[in-house]
Homo-oligomer: A and B are copies of this chain.
Amino acid sequence: MTNKPKSAERKRGSGAQFVYSILRDEILDLTLLPGSPIDEIRLSERLSMSRTPIREALVRLASEGLVTTLPNRSTVVSNIDFMNLHTFFDAMTLMYRVTTRLAAQFHTPADMAAIRARQAEFAKAVAAQDALSMIATNREFHAEIARAGRNPYYESLCLRLLDEGRRLLRMYYQSFDDQLPNEYVQEHEDLVATIEARDVARADSLAGTHADQIVQQIQALISRDRRQHIEL
């Protein structure tokens, strides 16, 4: 299935990193569902390597909150805390605003080129109506803006939130992929233009409304989902 290089083919020192990125992707793509246990031995067999690099990857994932390790018990994929989603929305909105603001202040021509490239990928995914690709490219677009802001503290929180959002969106887009967010492409275009123009106030405002839009959409998906559950 997935390309798994044999242990001999991989370079020394890349083991944990390799396992980390594999697991991370599987968690964020919901290939590993929230709450499902992660067996170290089975994983070591699947990736044909020792338990040591796998444990290191798990420690890293745990420190980022993607997995939860029960002492002396199996580590499980962290659940999505639906009760406290508002904290996620709140932080997401603020980080969108702050990073976009900083990007408008500090971007370089190279940053703009990178941002435009991400935006092009996002537009292509939307045109193709590929929901999964949309989620991924949207994440990369905002990650690139955060990078241009050049504040590693904001950037790391933003990346964490984008990952969490990717997982959340993945959960709903696999059932409701009939949404057509063409307006998001336009909003992104406006965002890019405003950043390039170094219009800090407008960048802040646009990022805020953009975040609100996404929040509203997710909430709509959730309530739609809830209603279904009730009707069963």
Residues of B within 8 A of A90 (CB): 151
Chain A residues 38 to 54 lying within 8 A of chain B, measured CB to CB, are 52
A13–B153 touching, CB < 8 Å: no
A184 sits at the interface (CB 8 A): no
Residues of B within 8 A of A91 (CB): 151, 153-154
Chain A residues 145 to 193 lying within 8 A of chain B, measured CB to CB, are 150-154, 156-157, 160-161
Roughly how many angstroms separate A13 CA and B13 CA in the complex, as a whole number?
Answer: 25
Query: Which segment of A55-63, A133-141, A209-217 sits at the interface?
Result: A55-63
Roughly how many angstroms separate A63 CA and B57 CA in the complex, as a whole number?
Answer: 11
Roughly how many angstroms separate A150 CA and B88 CA in the complex, as a whole number?
Answer: 11
A interface, by DSSP: helix, strand, loop or mixed?
A: helix
B16, B52, B153, B160: the one within 8 Å of A161 (CB): B153
A87 sits at the interface (CB 8 A): yes
Per-position binary interface string of chain A over residues 18-44, scored 1 when its CB falls under 8 Å from any chain B CB and 0 otherwise: 000000000000000000000000000
A153–B87 touching, CB < 8 Å: yes
A13–B71 touching, CB < 8 Å: yes
A98 sits at the interface (CB 8 A): yes
B60, B98, B151, B152: the one within 8 Å of A59 (CB): B60
With A87-B151, A87-B152, A91-B151 already in contact, 11 other A-B pairs whose C-beta atoms are closer than 8 Å: A56-B56, A56-B59, A59-B59, A63-B64, A65-B152, A84-B150, A84-B152, A87-B150, A87-B154, A91-B153, A156-B157
A residues sitting closer than 8 Å to B (CB atoms) are 12-13, 16, 52, 55-56, 59-60, 63-65, 71-72, 84, 87-88, 90-91, 94, 98, 150-154, 156-157, 160-161
Q: Which 8 A-B pairs have the closest CB atoms?
A: A91-B153, A87-B151, A63-B63, A13-B71, A59-B59, A157-B157, A60-B63, A56-B59
